[in-house]
Amino acid sequence: MPVKKHAGLKALRQSEKRKAKNQKIKQGMRVFEKKFRSLLEAKNFTALREMVPTLCQTFDKAARGKVIKKNKAQRKKSRLMSLLNKVSPK
C-alpha cells in the first residue's frame, strides 16, 4: 500500500487507462483475425492478399506497444500465413 493515499489513487487511474487501451488493441486484433478467417473460408484471395499487410502491421504494433509479447505476434502471423498458403491456389 502506498504511503500517501492520492499516489495510490493516481496509480489506479493510470492502470485503468492502460487496461482500456490494451483491451481496445486486443479487440482490434481479434476482429482482424476473425475477418481474415472468414475471408479464408469464403476463399476470397484478392481481399486476403490486400489484408495481409494490415494484419501484420496490427500484430506488430501490439507487440511494439507491449500489449502482447513479440513471439506471440510472430506466432499468430506465421499460423495465419501458413493457413493462407495451404488454401490459396498455386
pLDDT for position 7 = 83
- How far separated are the first and last CA of the chain, in Å rounded? 61
Closest CA to 57 of 41, 76, 34: 76
Q: Could you read off the pLDDT tens digit of each residue along the chain, which spans 90 residues? A: 566 778 888 888 999 999 999 999 999 999 999 999 999 999 999 999 999 999 999 999 999 999 999 999 999 999 999 999 999 886
pTM, two decimal places? 0.83
